[in-house]
Amino acid sequence: MKNKPNVSIIVARSRNGVIGANNTIPWMGKLKEDMIYFLRTTYSHPVIMGRRTYQSLAGPLKGRQNVVLSQTPGYRLDSHPGWDKQKHRRITALRRNLKEAVRLASIKDKTDNPEIFILGGGQIYELALRLGLVDRVYITQIDAEFEGDTFFPDLDPNQWQLVSDWHWDTDDRNSYPFNWKVYERQT
Ligand SMILES: NC(=O)c1ccc[n+]([C@@H]2O[C@H](COP(=O)([O-])OP(=O)(O)OC[C@H]3O[C@@H](n4cnc5c(N)ncnc54)[C@H](OP(=O)(O)O)[C@@H]3O)[C@@H](O)[C@H]2O)c1
């Protein structure tokens, strides 16, 4: 029998806690290595996101089940401008609450190391942490400050243990230095 999947958050956050501005990411396109890390880490695993994050993407993320949360009556995933029925119908689902989304995602992970990724945004991260659903948090901690309207909180060190920390310096593909940090919830 397969293991129960880990529920993980993956987020990139500035020094002052910003994760978004005007429904986009302020450092979009300026941290290429982090985008590769994000795509590799989540590949093949189900991802859960709020309706606003879904709308901010070019389209559903390929190679993984996308579960979108919305309570807007009549909202349809195929209203996304990047929607392609052939490519996206089978890899997307809409759910009205986070626990149902996690339940669906748990069934959809066919990998040997099942892990569900909560992709954001601010409302969904806050909800997942408040409900105590999260086992692990992958934070790209960017060493720069940005203006924004959406934030990710500091994790309580009594509750979250840092299990890995990897630094990346500024280079021609990455405009700011950052650290990939992984935290696990202390049981
Ligand atoms: N830096 C990062 O790593 C990162 C990652 C992801 C997103 N972001 C940024 O974060 C921002 C978006 O975050 P956000 O907080 O504005 O929006 P969000 O969390 O992406 O989505 C919010 C929407 O989710 C739905 N929702 C919220 N609570 C729900 C619940 N309990 N049950 C069911 N559905 C629920 C609602 O949709 P309805 O209104 O349709 O009901 C709500 O409007 C953007 O700027 C984005 O670029 C950053």
pLDDT digits (tens, 9 = 90+) for 88-98: 999 999 999 99
- Domain regions of the chain by residue span: 6-185
pLDDT digits (tens, 9 = 90+) for 12-22: 999 999 999 99
C-alpha 64/C-alpha 67 separation (Å) is 10
Q: Is residue 1 over pLDDT 90?
A: no
φ, ψ of residue 98 to 5 degrees: the values are: -65, -35
pTM, two decimals, is: 0.97
Inter-residue contact 105 to 135 (CB < 8 Å): no
State the distance from the centre of ligand 1 to the C-alpha of 1, rounded, in angstroms.
34
- Mean pLDDT calculated for residue range 134-139: 98
Q: What does the buried/exposed string (b/e) look like for 127-155 if buried means 16 or more CB atoms within 10 Å of the residue's CB?
A: ebbeeebbbbbbbbbbebebebebbbeeb
- Left (φ > 0), alpha (ψ -120 to 50) or beta: where does 63 sit? left
Nearest CA to ligand 1 atom 9: 20
Listed in sequence order, the DSSP H helices in 31-135 are 32-42, 51-56, 85-88, 98-108, 122-130
Ligand 1 site residues (CB inside 6 A) read 11-12, 19-20, 23-25, 49-53, 56, 69-72, 75, 96-98, 119-124, 127, 150
Among 3.30.450.40, 3.40.50.1400, 3.40.430.10, 2.40.110.10, name the CATH number for the domain at 6-185.
3.40.430.10
Please work out, in degrees rounded to the nearest 5, the angle formed at the alpha carbon of residue 140 by the alpha carbons of 134 and 145: 120
Q: Is residue 153 over pLDDT 70?
A: yes
- Mean pLDDT calculated for residue range 88-116: 95
Q: Is residue 3 over pLDDT 80?
A: no
pLDDT computed for residue 53 by the predictor: 98
pLDDT computed for residue 94 by the predictor: 98
